[in-house]
Amino acid sequence: MSSKSKKWHLLHPFLFAAFPIIFLYFHNINQFLIAEILLPMAISLCLAVIVILLLWFFFGDIVRAGLGASIFIIFLFAYGHIFEAITRLLPLYPASRIHAGLMSITVCSLICSEFLIKRTRRDLSDTTKVLNIVSAILIMISLTNIMVYKFRNATHNRNDAIDSENIESRSTAPAINSQLPDIYYIILDRYPSAAVLKEFYDFDNSEFVDYLVRHGFYVASQSHANYLCTAQSLASSLNMKHITYLGKEIGEETDNWTPTYAMLQDNRVRRFLKSKGYKFIYFGNEWYPTSKNNHADMNVNPFGLSEFWMLTYKTTMLYPITRLLGIIDPDMEKYKRVQYQFDKLSMLPSIRGPIFVFAHFLVPHEPYVFNENGNFLTREEASRRSNRENFVSQIVFINGKVKALISKLQLDSAPQPIIVVQSDEGPYPQDRKLTFNDFDWESASNAHIREKMGILNAYYLLDVNENALYSSITPVNSFRIIFNLYFGTELELLPDESYVFSNTRHIYKFINVTDKLK
């Protein structure tokens, strides 16, 4: 066999290494930009090189090394998908036991396969040719599907309507103070209103609400989210407009989130405040669309691995091993990130301002990693408690962090800052397992809508007309009111309406549910 022919035997390990990344991207194509696959792809291809070299040393033959590398890569990336399939079939069976059994079978099968390759005397040329063809076909199918999706969903991702009101030219000097105040926009993901906590969780949150009121906050007790989920809610609040027009502009028959994600990056609030001399400080999280902002003067997001990288990593058999060893644990990363970012937030008054701070915390959003005392809660510990207990525990924890932060910001800031503590959405209903992907919100009951849309919404606006705020204000009007009070913009308030979409296949098919909340 010629050396040129042997080189072709090295093709299939690299194709098999690339395929899981491309496959996973296609199945999440509406969530990520294609640039997100570059790092996982590079790591996967480098891993293929390492495995080939090690097996070449073990087998003493490059053809067998290539075949052994492909088998290793297939076992490596198939593990997570097999695990997910088993957990769906056996939802009540402990995940740790599934991992133990599946890992034993996988490792034994892999070792046996590699020894069979070493011991066989068969000519492996035909086998490698078949693997080359199969791996190439898999890659071509995935790439074709990606191109078809991109073609069907071709749309601009720019926020074209962002300056339709031209608020910069209509604004004046600060309305109440010649010195611009720092502005803190703090998002607590899925933090419900006090009424929702009382009705659906049997939890009295009045102590926290009373604390806010005593410290000068206006708590909008009848506030609701404008939209069902984080991306649409923040796209609306940060651009100070309803986004129902996207149904006509993009089309209702799509699940493409990327235009909405673009509105989170290049948003109207940031543009306006930057034009007034504000520094933009951004506190991101592990969720890709709000992990960082490319327009920020400072991004604060430690311990962060990209969401797509982690999604890829979770499909491999390395994930349960490293998590068991405590090497890579996304729950611990979340636990440390939240603690770290609250500490950093409290230090920001020392920065020469003015500053606009956007901080999005994925709490009390699951996974539940805090108990009520702020100690780390493992998945195993969380599984032994009810969802209600875990959720309320994170509410209690985050209440304490927010109170400490508010005290610090009010004490150290001069002039007093603007602080908005707000939720982007409420929790998913607890009476049944309703998830983001499998529920038809068009047929949701009034109770389901109330539980999902009732949110925390509190404002610290010192020395301004309290009549400007009202109990049913929604996030779409938050910065309209702030800019009117502090910058003299005279923006009209929009209807405080709430919308859901029918399902995740039609995310721009908006349904007005405002009447269901009354």
Asked, for residue 49, whether it belongs to a domain, the answer is yes
Instruction: Tell me which residue of 453, 427, 440 sits closest to 501, measured CA to CA.
Output: 440
Residues 125 and 250 in one domain: no
Residue 8's pLDDT is 56
Strands 510-512 and 298-300, by their bridges, are unpaired
Residue 434's pLDDT is 52
Parts of the chain with a pLDDT under 70: 1-9, 154-178, 303-305, 431-438, 466
Q: What residues make up the domain containing 91?
A: 3-152
Sign of CA pseudo-dihedral 212, 217, 221, 225: negative
Asked, for residue 157, whether it belongs to a domain, the answer is no
Taking the C-alpha atoms of residue 133 and residue 138, their distance in angstroms, rounded to an integer, is 9
Report the domain count for the chain: 2
Residues 187 and 249 in one domain: yes
Asked, for residue 194, whether it belongs to a domain, the answer is yes
Taking the C-alpha atoms of residue 34 and residue 386, their distance in angstroms, rounded to an integer, is 38
Residues 366 and 507 in one domain: yes
Taking the C-alpha atoms of residue 475 and residue 428, their distance in angstroms, rounded to an integer, is 19
Residues 251 and 196 in one domain: yes
Is residue 250 a contact partner of residue 256, using CB atoms and an 8 Å limit? yes
Residues 148 and 222 in one domain: no
Q: Containing H/E element for 452?
A: helix 446-453
Asked, for residue 354, whether it belongs to a domain, the answer is yes
Residues 186 and 140 in one domain: no
Which pLDDT tens digit goes with each residue over 456-480? 999 999 877 767 899 999 999 999 9
Residue 175's pLDDT is 44
DSSP single-letter state for residue 31: T
The CATH number of residue 398's host domain is 3.40.720.10
Residues 141 and 195 in one domain: no
Question: Of 131, 152, 173, which residue is a domain's last?
Answer: 152
Residue 353's pLDDT is 77
Which pLDDT tens digit goes with each residue over 95-114? 888 888 999 999 999 999 98
Residue 211's pLDDT is 97
Is residue 43 a contact partner of residue 20, using CB atoms and an 8 Å limit? no
Q: How far is CA 467 from CA 218, 417, 461, 463, 471, in A?
A: 10, 19, 12, 12, 10
pTM of the model: 0.87
Asked, for residue 160, whether it belongs to a domain, the answer is no
Is residue 348 a contact partner of residue 182, using CB atoms and an 8 Å limit? yes
Asked, for residue 175, whether it belongs to a domain, the answer is no
Long-range pairs for 39-42: beta carbons < 8 A, 24 or more residues apart: 39/306, 39/309, 40/308, 40/309, 40/312, 40/313
Taking the C-alpha atoms of residue 341 and residue 360, their distance in angstroms, rounded to an integer, is 10
Phi-psi region of 512 (alpha: psi -120 to 50; beta: other; left: phi over 0): beta
Residue 138's pLDDT is 95
Asked, for residue 167, whether it belongs to a domain, the answer is no
Residues 20 and 133 in one domain: yes
Residues 313 and 441 in one domain: yes
Residues 133 and 266 in one domain: no
Residues 195 and 100 in one domain: no
Asked, for residue 352, whether it belongs to a domain, the answer is yes
Residues 300 and 375 in one domain: yes
